[in-house]
Structure formats: C-alpha cells, structure tokens
Homo-oligomer: A and B are copies of this chain.
C-alpha cells in the first residue's frame, strides 16, 4: 500500500555526519603538508580523520577530487584590498599569493593537481572552476578600484577587458608560481617590488593610450 508522498527531496536513511567532511578535509590538508602528494594515501587520511576508508570513497570518488576540495578553501582567504594606489594593491595581493604558495600543503597540492589535470580534462575543469578562475576576481576588482581612482581608463569593450584580465592574471599567477614552485626561490619584498614595477609599465602605457 504505497502512499505516494509528494515530499520534493526526502532524505532517506541515516543522514551523513557533516562534521566528518571537515575532519576529512582537515586531515587531507595536514597529511598533504607532512607527506606530500605521493605520501598521501586514502587509508592514511581515513585514519587521521578517525574515519573508515569506505566513508572517504562514499563522499569523494578519488584522491584528486578530495584534494581539490581540501585545497580550494585555502584560496578563499585571498582578498583584494584598496590601499589607495594600484602599486600598493598589486604588491599586497602578490605578497599574499606568494605566502599561500609557500605553505607546504599548497605546494604539494597545487602542482600535483595541475599535473593530474594534464591527463584528465574533467579534473582540469574542476580545478579551474574551483580554484583558478575564482581568483580572477582579484584582478577584476583591482582594475575596478584603479579605474575608480582614475589610475586606469574605463573599459570600453567588454571582451577586450576580459582578455586583458586573462593576460594579466596568467602573468601574475604564472610568474609567482614559477618563482616559488619551479625556481624554488622566495618571493621576497624586493622581488615583489621589481615585479610590480615590471607590471605597472604596460598598464601605465595602456592608460596613456598606447596600443
């Protein structure tokens, strides 16, 4: 005698423990920092989180997705501030990005994810959606602030503005990543200052009308 319930989304069965998610992600981050990507095993994470291995697999299909989620939150801390000048704003955000990239768990996670992403288009998409693209907001906001201050000309073409954001984003992110992750040298204050100088030149040029 089936009584059709019109409940839209009935959660059946025992509900998942929400705290478990946090415990797992936290365990993932700490294990990642200590052991690196290669040393990160699902069994290990489960043990650290005080959770059965099956529980991990019930929530994340693989190590990749788990680490994406575990790492993504780290980037939420990046914020664009308005310090009154474009140079100051750029230096501040670069400094924060560099600090983030200097943390061991970020290093291990980022490059390992990028590496896996070269093989798995879906993973690459997830990485872009969850981690990379959201950071473009920093460039958008920085430009908006500078435009409000009159340091940069207003956007005329929407598409051109997006292209410019993309290229600036690739340049900043790429340079800092290469400096820290590949060259393995710190992004010290001096380096940031010099890099900002390098970056400001074309922006200034743009603002004065040169192609």
List chain A positions with a Cβ less than 8 A from chain B: 36-39, 104, 107-108, 111-112, 114-119, 121, 124, 127-128, 132, 163, 166-168, 170-171, 173-179, 181-184, 191, 194-195, 197-202, 204-205, 210-211
How far does the Cβ of A207 sit from chain B's closest Cβ, in whole Å? Answer: 11
Contacts A/B (CB < 8 Å), 21 sampled = A36-B116, A38-B119, A39-B119, A107-B118, A111-B118, A115-B115, A117-B184, A132-B182, A167-B191, A167-B194, A170-B178, A170-B195, A171-B174, A171-B198, A173-B178, A174-B175, A177-B178, A197-B211, A200-B202, A201-B204, A201-B210
Are A111 and B115 interface neighbours, CB within 8 A?
yes
Residue of B nearest to A108 (CB): B118
Are B178 and A174 interface neighbours, CB within 8 A?
yes
**Copies of this chain present:** 4
Rank and list the top 8 A-B pairs by shortest CB-CB distance, nearest first.
Answer: A174-B178, A174-B174, A201-B202, A111-B115, A36-B119, A174-B175, A201-B201, A107-B118
How far does the Cβ of A203 sit from chain B's closest Cβ, in whole Å? Answer: 8
Are A182 and B171 interface neighbours, CB within 8 A?
no
- The CA-CA distance from A118 to B178 in the complex, in Å, is 12
Set of chain B residues within 8 Å of A168, measured between Cβ atoms: 198
Set of chain B residues within 8 Å of A184, measured between Cβ atoms: 117, 121, 124, 128
Are B174 and A36 interface neighbours, CB within 8 A?
no
Q: A114-B111, A178-B174 are in contact. Are A167 and B198 (CB under 8 A)?
A: yes
- The CA-CA distance from A36 to B123 in the complex, in Å, is 14
Are A205 and B201 interface neighbours, CB within 8 A?
yes
